[in-house]
Amino acid sequence: MSKMVLQRVFRAVIMGPPGSGKGTVSGRIIKTFGLTHISSGDILRNNINAKTELGLLMKACIDQGQLLPDDVMARLILNDLRTLGNTSWLLDGFPRTILQAEALDNAYSVDSRLSSRWTHTASGRVYNIDFNPPKVPGLDDVTGEPLVQRDDDTPHTVTRRLKAYENQTEPVLEYYRSKGVLETFSGTETNQIWPHIESFLHRKLSIHSKKVA
């Protein structure tokens, strides 16, 4: 008797400005989750050290902190990713421009964490295949009943929702940002983000009550 095992490939991009601790966070993610780390900067530095044609050509540009041409970068990174096949990976340093992001999107369809979401309708319990999977794939942990996907959590719709977010919601973030009232919290899991949100609100609320008093 054959048994089908549900296995998901997890692919992610980590972004953040220089000095934002991206390297440290990447290291932790890789150590904990066993993803393959693809760092565009490391790949380029290896090319420079090995004095490859690419390394020699691009050294001056890199030394000046300029971005390399999109087509060169896209070919380099996509070739590397192709050799990984169905492995889970974390991309670091790529994409850095819209053109690079589009090249990546064309090679790998958008696979948002939303499309990984499954729900137990009766109780409203939510599972995420990547971060919080049910003990038995497709079944609720408590009742053993089947899980369902919301109609708007399918990959096709998620792509559209992400586009809508980009077009309609991001300008709203900018609006609040320009007023100086936007606070952003970063992280991939609620447990990780919550302490920051909580202490931020504690701080805000205590200042507010002092003013009122």
Q: Distance from CA of residue 49 to its chain's centroid?
A: 30
Using DSSP bridges, classify how beta strands 117-120 and 36-39 pair: parallel, antiparallel or unpaired.
Answer: unpaired
Q: Determine if 94 is a binding residue for ligand AMP (CB under 6 A).
A: yes
Residues 73, 81, 90, 129: which binds ligand AMP (CB under 6 A)? 73
Residues 14, 68, 101, 139: which binds ligand AMP (CB under 6 A)? 68
- Residues 116, 128 contacting (CB under 8 angstroms): yes
In the complex with ligand AMP, the residue whose CB is nearer, 67 or 201, is: 67
From residue 18, give the alpha-carbon distance in Å to each of 23, 46, 65, 72, 92. 9, 19, 11, 22, 12
Tell me: is residue 209 an annotated ligand-binding position. no
- Whether 161 sits among the annotated catalytic residues: the reply is yes
Tell me: is residue 211 an annotated ligand-binding position. no
Of 31, 125, 161, 163, which one is the catalytic site residue?
A: 161
Q: Cis omega before residue 95 (within 30°)?
A: yes
Residues 56, 57, 67, 136: which binds ligand AMP (CB under 6 A)? 67
In the complex with ligand AMP, the residue whose CB is nearer, 30 or 61, is: 61
Q: Determine if 40 is a binding residue for ligand AMP (CB under 6 A).
A: yes
- Closest of 153, 152, 108, 151 to residue 127, by C-alpha: 153
Site size for ligand AMP, by CB under 6 A? 14
Of 59, 96, 113, 125, which one is the catalytic site residue?
A: 96
Tell me: is residue 95 an annotated ligand-binding position. yes
Residues 12, 81, 93, 147: which binds ligand AMP (CB under 6 A)? 93
- Closest of 165, 168, 200, 203 to residue 182, by C-alpha: 200
In the complex with ligand AMP, the residue whose CB is nearer, 29 or 68, is: 68
- Residues 70, 96 contacting (CB under 8 angstroms): no
- Whether 150 sits among the annotated catalytic residues: the reply is yes
Active-site residue list = 22, 96, 117, 150, 161
